[in-house]
Chain A
């Protein structure tokens, strides 16, 4: 079945450091890919998405490119802030099937 694998956390970075969180997926067909963010004590918020190969999703300085050849959707940000501290989830979805999530990566940014 469909699955998502993302890098184990926690990830601790200093403010203004470069962030990469790796995500790879296994799925039949051509899924849509998502990154969700969960701040402490809150539900999930959609951060960005891409619906086809080579699409780049971007939001709030975060970017991820849908790479079909490597089945990857790595999340990047050039300069993280303390307010980016959260848990980040990579997910995929095919049509009206449910979202399939990775286990999440906790990011802590220290000033």
Chain B
């Protein structure tokens, strides 16, 4: 069983640029959630995708967008980067529709630095 993987591990961008982060779900999982973890803070929910559609969103502006693909892998896109977007971005997968849907499995994260 393959766990959740994310790429890249680290990324440095400048203000105004765009970035795409990638996530591969754990085998058999159909739901992907993305979280932003600022330094010294707990993770904050960005959005969730189930069967290729966004089905939940946290308090993040529209310049944060995502995709989920038929193989349940996912992308997080951030446009017009701001300094405050510097954070660890975590992807988590789960299996919705079962009692196991309450448990999410996290990837190692992508550390984004915006200069």
Return the chain B residue nearest A91 by Cβ.
Answer: B42
For A32, the closest partner residue in chain B by CB is B102
Interface 1/0s, chain B 30-53, versus A by CB < 8 A?
010101000011111100100000
Assembly CA distance A44 to B92 (angstroms): 9
Q: Could you tell me the distance between the alpha carbons of A10 and B102 in the complex, rounded to whole angstroms?
A: 29
> A42 touching B43 by the CB < 8 A rule?
no
Q: Which residue of A lies closest to B109 (CB)?
A: A43
Contact with B along A50-75 (1 / 0, CB 8 A): 01000000000000000000000000
Contact call B48/A98, Cβ cutoff below 8 A:
yes
B16 within 8 A of A: no
Which A residues have a C-beta under 8 Å from some C-beta of B? 4, 32, 36, 42-46, 49, 51, 89, 91, 93, 95-104
Interface residues of B (CB under 8 A from A): 6, 31, 33, 35, 40-45, 48, 55-56, 58, 88, 90, 92, 96, 101-109
Further pairs besides A43-B6, A43-B109, A44-B92: 19, Cβ < 8 Å:
A4-B42, A36-B106, A42-B109, A43-B88, A43-B90, A43-B107, A46-B106, A89-B42, A95-B102, A96-B55, A96-B56, A98-B33, A99-B35, A99-B43, A99-B104, A100-B45, A101-B42, A103-B42, A104-B40
